[in-house]
Structure 1
């Protein structure tokens, strides 16, 4: 991969031919790699540095072998209000897959740059669909388990997957000086360009594994006929009606947008801009977006600069902190919780405990708190997140890696620091200010998290309910005790010695004052 293998355009004026090419390329791109550069900042700087250069590498017309074009947007020269609409459209277009390497910090600085500029049009708080190359590499492309704990830089990933050395010597250069040197231009272009090449490796691996599929040669021969001619044939028209949405979209795209390569290159000279003209993604790209696509979202708390020195920042010999793209971790709880009535919740605390804190889930149920566990025993990260969002729960975990997942909002996850279950319970109660009283104790099913039937069962009713399901000890027959049944799993409970011991235990752990 060389920067000389593609066109590089430095865009510093909206009246320039380069800006016209940018508008056309964006409206005909299926994938865009994003990166940004700014002047190195002092360690304790209280404000975000302005982004001085935004790199956009474009893959055109849904084709892997189509021309790659890199645009370097000089934000120190361009009028920000004039390009705000263009960037907003790129970041939110469902027909463009955005690639980044831990791009959240870049987006934060970029948003701050536009907000602080008078008439800048406001910032940016969302990029979707989005793929983080760092996450894709760790989850699907990295095979050396012995070095898994090592933080992988973009340079090392390029070396492993592409066999090229991506020099980072200019990372801490002064990007505010103009004109930019040719070395700076090449370096900046490569940073965005390599994202598309790495994605191509990922795409080819998925195709080889059969994880995603491309349209067959037969289907492509049909596409070349043109949609109108296909519909004239009875057999073909019935097949189209049975086809998937993705294939139908691909047929339309192929019918309208199969330009020869020479025509494509010539059309880059045009300057027309129509945000509605972006063609839909092809079939294989749609599958990748649906299976692996993510959202990059900035919350209100992200907009507050942190003046403390962060672990992982690399300090240069000049005393400045260089851009070291580390995924932000969620160290402290950021409310309000998703069950809050202001967010459309019912006001009842709800948690989702992953496999690392399953014992905590049972303790929370014992004190009457709704604490679910994942649907499957070994859930994928995305499945865990989807369950939490759907049920308006906060994920409780001790897995630091899970906190780095950019699809999560800060009010959707909390990292439990304590190791012992009793201490974990107290930590959650204090962090979320949960109100625990004696009447709540042992009011939920510890097996499935369900609630009990409100009316207690007699011994006769309990025996009937337990037939072929649960054995009730004979020693309980002549005792005047109440039975309780879970609404969801039908498990029976009774107020025996074990029950009273558990109640007393949680009275002591939670320091509950008796109301008697």
Structure 2
């Protein structure tokens, strides 16, 4: 069974392809013949710098926006489906020629976000499995960064700076909701993939289609000689994407459903004459082909003509680049000394600054730098005092002064911060984990923090402040929120209690989001065990 992520208007179907003879593989075959627009992304295990070979891509995401099916006028176009190709499970020779055809097909516009690096790694991965010469061309192609720049130019009526924006930032500005990139550096080589990883990977590819749809409709509305809007996909699906993120962030759950039998899918693909057979490892498996894809409509053709580009890899791109920086020589004694300094922070040692024996009040307090900002919010959610730096880009000495003044332990993932010699006499801990939930558990275990259910959601997640002791009635909350915060009118008749932060005056209430968050941290901290 594959996951289906629930949205308000239409479910986004996500198919995990783990076998070349699976129903999902056959459905991918069919979908590539019914699409003129795909979003591409790839995932691989994080690697250390100065590696002599490219990392192996473990997951390839293909998001397809489907056209109306041939001979079926009632079929609804504009539906999106995402395929996650597990390259550790599917034989790569079964995919190689078909992916190469799709990447070079003039009938399919490929969307990506800085996809050239992904293509280099993808090509290297296939070459390592005997699929030589790999991939060296994506045409036509449109980078979402350029789409964003065009949208900003239309919005402001002037050329925008070519500053690099993250995909999360672009999603926030174009779609109204930021992508969570928490799982970007997770270990994509581990199997099975978690539900959170599957959702993250699907969203990364699907959001490319949604951003393009905004771009396409705005061009048409502004009379950019692209055509009329009658053939455009329904832009209301963008609202669906917001609901996807909101639903996932609040409940952290993925719904599942059954798909049609393999025989039904294979039968549905018969009209396209795409079912071919090739020999792999002594057996016979179906090979997908997108050579009989449907041609682009007039609107998409004009967009490709005006804004389309291509990715072409040179031979030099296919070789890992070695660092040409000269390394300063240093004595072995100095090197050993520095190494021991860094080892000191691998495991927590010493007395915490809040310990009563050194003049503390016994209440754990942390200072989280910008690299563990998400950890700070998680600590606040379980009732732990977790401050952020005074400024957005603090100097190391500023962090230390703040930690000393407020009797806090500085939490960081910045290895460079640990190299400052004046930090040796201060309390600092390097967080090892990458994911926020794991970071939270690491800090709880390392500092032997006692978390109870009563502590959950007892601090303001916005500013780290405490709440007023007495809850506010609905009338009092409405009065307190005037000119400051909007309270949804649907809450007025629910007889809820409201709580207000004493520092930033933010209002909170025990709604669905509150209860979902409480349950999440009960599960994460294993308080129910």
TM-score w.r.t. structure 1 length?
0.48
Greater Cα radius of gyration, structure 1 or 2: 1
